[in-house]
Amino acid sequence: MTTKDGKMRLGLSMRYLGYHMAAWRHPDVPADGAIHFDYFLSTAKKAQDARLDMIFFADGIGIRANDKPKGSLARDAKNAELEPLTLLAAIGACTSNIGLVATASTTYNEPFHIARKYASIDHISGGRAGWNVVTSWSQQEAWNFSRDEHLGYEERYERADEFVEVVKKLWDSWEDDAFIRDKATGVFYEASRLHTPNHKGKHFSVRGPLNSARTPQGRPIVVQAGAAEAGRQLAARNADVVYSNAADFDGAKAYYDDLKGRLAAHGRAPDQLLIMPGITLYVGETRQEAQDKFDQLQDLIDPLSGLALLYGVLGDLSEYDIDGPVPDVGNQRVRSIAENLLSTARKENLTIRQMYKRVASGNNRQLIGTAKDIVDDMEAWFKGGAADGFNICPPTLPQGIDDVARFILPELRRRGLFRTEYESSTLRGNLGLQPLKFGE
């Protein structure tokens, strides 16, 4: 850990209705919640009452799924949601301390738009905005922006590097005290404290300046999820927070050490970047209660939705008995991944249903157990130098934040690992990151 106060940083991911694919079918989840402001505001207020650092909205600018097998897409709840920056601005006006982070793509936006929107949210919220930088990845998004194909990997990250550079220049258009607003003299701003970027690069030509004052945080927090080499480099140069995804401690520790080790080359100290792996929690008074919560959601997975999960790797299994063995239909696009799944299915004698349930458990590391079980694990990662905190990706909302507040936070606080009150009115301050001086 590199947090100066020895406390974990905790965020709550709030996209959709939770991170389990069957969350919308849970009897206690409002199936239409993802298009209602009150649903998100009530959860954000619960996160604030719990003294979490931030809420986070991932985003994609398109429905990133195919209807294969046919009929599966109509069972997918990830096709109707609110635009996250609009949502953050509204939440920011109705809350006082919780950080507000949302994704915006460097491939399908322009730097001036992003700089202005996040600066506005930072002003509206009094210094709580954060931008999660992504390059986007799906062909479906390309189709929504007059492109037949998504940009190639190298071009996307090259563009992203320059994009972030331009946005940061725009955020530095004005010094902190540029706007003197002297009614007696008629001078609104001090001209010497205006800095016009005049950026000219390979991908962007942006004159500026930004038509917004310097924000309460100096600039909004920059968040990234760099896993591959280009993403790690982007994070080391620019990010304040990284959301990582590691399945085990050794992998998380190696990633943590690698990313922290890159900072010095950019004139940065280890405590200037926080690394927060994603975790999905199923917690109860007993281990059986926690397991029952997991099993209930697994049983709600529609078979067609489950087959859709397997389609991209194993091919179309819709004509086979779902409770029969997993067949090898051949001609898989990524044969190595298919072979791994097929080998597991044969070794463990899994049915198709059991296999899609295995895959459906999600990309984030899952912890199932009592508060002690889960906090033991979190503490081991935190004190062992694999995490500065965690991005909690609840299986369902609002139940996920209720369980965190009821079970996890009391145990963390009992061990002195999480705050009881906010330390600051800004996200930067609550994260323990040093204040920004102009031009940094």
Q: Is the pLDDT of residue 120 over 80?
A: yes
The beta strand positions in 234-325, using DSSP E, are 241-244, 274-283
Provide φ and ψ at 218, rounded to 5°.
90, -50
User: Are 122 and 226 found together in one domain?
Assistant: yes
Q: Give the count of domains, the chain.
A: 2
CA distance 211 to 115: 10
Q: Are residues 259 and 168 in the same domain?
A: yes
pLDDT in tens, 399-414: 999 999 999 999 999 9
pLDDT of residue 172: 97
Q: Is residue 336 part of a domain?
A: yes
Is 44 within a domain? yes
Pick from 43, 32, 100: which is nearest to 402 by CA? 43
In a domain, 139, yes or no: yes
Among 333, 360, 387, residue at a domain's last position: 360
pLDDT of residue 313: 84
Distance CA 22, CA 301 (A): 5
Residues 278 and 294 in one domain: no
Band (156; pLDDT cuts 50, 70, 90): confident
Instruction: Let me know if residue 3 belongs to a domain.
Output: no
How many whole angstroms separate alpha carbon 373 and alpha carbon 386? Answer: 18
Which tokens sit at 258? 């690698």
- Select from 267, 270, 277, 279 the least CA-distant residue to 240: 270
pLDDT in tens, 304-357: 999 998 988 899 999 999 999 999 988 876 677 788 889 989 999 999 999 999
Identify whether residues 294 and 283 lie together within a single domain: no
pLDDT band at 375 (very low <50, low <70, confident <90, very high): very high
Q: Tell me how many helices (H) and strands (E) the chain has.
A: 15, 11
The model's pTM? 0.93
Residue 2 is assigned to a structural domain of this protein: no
- Please tell me whether residues 271 and 126 are part of one structural domain: yes
Q: What is the pLDDT of residues 166-211, one digit of tens each?
A: 999 999 999 999 999 999 999 999 999 999 999 999 999 999 999 9
d(CA 43, CA 49): 10
Contact indicator for 238, 255 with CB cutoff of 8 Å: no
Q: How confident is the model at residue 61 (pLDDT cuts 50, 70, 90)?
A: confident
pLDDT at 408: 98
pLDDT digits (tens, 9 = 90+) for 17-52: 999 999 999 999 999 999 999 999 999 999 999 999
CATH number at residue 159: 3.20.20.30
Q: Is residue 4 in a domain? A: no
SS3 of residue 411 by DSSP:
helix
Q: For 15, list phi and psi in degrees, rounded to 5.
A: -70, 150
- 350-to-306, 326, 356, 359, 363 alpha-carbon distances in Å: 14, 7, 10, 12, 20
Report pLDDT for 391. 97
Q: 33 and 181 in one domain?
A: yes
Could you give the residue ranges of the DSSP H alpha helices within 281-334? 287-299, 303-314
Give the percent of the chain with pLDDT over 70: 99
Domain membership flag for residue 436: no
Q: Bigger pLDDT: 143 or 239?
A: 239
Question: Could you say which of 360, 378, 397 is where a domain stops?
Answer: 360
Other beta carbons less than 10 A from residue 30's beta carbon = 14
Q: pLDDT value at position 333?
A: 66
What's the mean pLDDT in 239-253?
A: 93
Domain shared by 152 and 260, yes or no: yes
C-alpha span between 386 and 119 (Å, rounded): 32
- Percent residues over pLDDT 90 in the chain: 79
Instruction: Note whether residue 153 is domain-resident.
Output: yes
Residues 97, 41 share a domain: yes
* pLDDT value at residue 150: 78
Query: What is the spatial distance between Cα 158 and Cα 139, in angstroms, rounded to a whole number?
Result: 19
Find the radius of gyration of the CA atoms of the chain.
23
- Nearest by Cα to 225 from 240, 239, 244: 244
For residues 294 and 156, membership in a common domain is answered with no
Domain termination residue (choose one: 342, 360, 378) = 360
Strands 205-206, 221-224: pairing kind? unpaired
Residues 158 and 224 in one domain: yes
Burial class (CB in 10 A: 0-12, 13-18, 19+), 183: exposed
For residues 216 and 113, membership in a common domain is answered with: yes
| Domain interval for residue 313 | 289-360
> What b-and-e string marks burial along 314-338, b requiring 16 or more CB atoms within 10 Å of the CB?
bbebbeeebeeebeeeeebeeeeeb
DSSP secondary-structure letter at 70? T
Q: Is the pLDDT of residue 226 over 80?
A: no
**How far apart are alpha carbons 112 and 171 in whole angstroms?**
10
Q: Report the candidate in 79, 62, 58 with the shortest Cα–Cα distance to residue 141.
A: 62
Do 368 and 356 sit in the same domain of this protein? no
Contacts of 267 (CB under 8 A, 6+ apart): none
